[in-house]
């Protein structure tokens, strides 16, 4: 791997156990729409009006379809013990993308990674939240392309 890009990499301890349990209950009932809605509202903290509007768009179906895989990710993250120093040996250039309007930046390991990675660049996507790839795909793609080709 020559370059790595991460977008608001989640801090494993950031999801409360009560939220993970509620998501497990949504999944047990096969209610993936409720699962995505709850995650975006309670973990990502997408504002209610924005979330309700997003739910009415065709873009909302993709996270609903991906929800079973997301649950597997959440389960794995809940068991992972993050030790920043372990990542200090990653010598390749790393682009860490962050949304400038992200509601809960403390849920991500951005600063911890930027501090230990030898060749990390943090790039803010102004006015964006955790879903810039959905709400502003052109700018997100431009940032990624510039990094990969640079």
Coil, helix or strand at residue 115: helix
- Token reading at 103: 């509601």
Average pLDDT, the chain: 93
pLDDT for 52 beyond 90: yes
Distance of CA 70 to the CA centre of its chain: 11
Higher pLDDT, 96 or 12: 96
In whole angstroms, give the CA distance from residue 65 to residue 20.
18
In whole angstroms, give the CA distance from residue 6 to residue 4.
7
Please give the biggest Cα pair distance in the chain. Answer: 46
Angle between helices 61-79 and 17-28 (to 10 degrees): 130
In whole angstroms, give the CA distance from residue 126 to residue 105.
14
Output the pTM of the full model: 0.77
In whole angstroms, give the CA distance from residue 116 to residue 14.
20
Model confidence over 53-93: pLDDT tens digits? 989 998 899 999 999 999 999 999 999 999 999 999 999 99
């Amino acid at each position: 791997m020559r370059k790595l890009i991460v977008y608001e990499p989640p801090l494993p301890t950031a999801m409360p156990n009560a939220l993970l349990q509620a998501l497990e209950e949504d999944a047990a009932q096969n209610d993936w729409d409720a699962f995505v809605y709850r995650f975006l509202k309670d973990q990502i903290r997408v504002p209610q009006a924005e979330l309700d509007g997003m739910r009415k768009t065709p873009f909302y179906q993709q996270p609903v379809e991906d929800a079973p895989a997301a649950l597997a990710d959440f389960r794995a993250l809940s068991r992972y013990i993050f030790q920043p120093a372990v990542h200090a040996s990653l010598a390749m250039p790393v682009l860490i993308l962050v949304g400038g309007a992200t509601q809960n930046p403390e849920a991500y390991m951005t600063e911890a990674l930027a501090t230990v990675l030898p060749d990390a660049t943090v790039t803010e996507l102004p006015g964006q939240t955790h879903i810039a790839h959905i709400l502003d795909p052109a700018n997100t793609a431009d940032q990624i392309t510039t990094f990969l080709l640079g």
